[in-house]
Amino acid sequence: MTPDDMKTLKRINRVLGIMRTSISPTVPVQVVQAFVAVALNEGKSLTEIAQICGGNLSTTSRHLLDLGERNRKKEPGYGLVHRAEDAEQLRKNNYTLTPRGRLLAAQLAAVLED
């Protein structure tokens, strides 16, 4: 492995550490991927986020619920993603980051920019 490879892997390890401490020590990679997908594509619907993540609707929906205010068990969620009804299509929800989610996304980006 080259020194640049080692530096990149160390950054990835720092990102994963931040995600584990900010979300949960046992957070699944798919939940992290859903968070990043929303961060990169704010305002997209569940269907669009599922396509971006390469997952199915039900699994992506569970991940986004876990990242939201309340998880699928109606317990407190991670508070990183906000779901809002689309003003023109009431059956459609759009996802954006909460202020806490924006702060986390900025932290992750800063680690990768070092």
Domain that holds residue 15: 3-113
How many distinct structural domains can be found in the chain? 1
Cβ–Cβ under 8 Å, residues 18 and 111: yes
Percentage with pLDDT > 90 across the chain: 79
Q: Using a pLDDT cut of 70, give the percent of the chain over it.
A: 99
The amino acid at 17: G
Measured CA to CA in angstroms, residue 46 lies from 21, 49, 54, 106 at distances of 26, 5, 12, 23
CATH classification of the domain holding 96: 1.10.10.10
- Predicted confidence (pLDDT) per residue in 18-74, tens digit: 999 988 899 999 999 999 999 999 999 999 999 999 989 999 999 999 999 998 888
d(CA 12, CA 26): 17
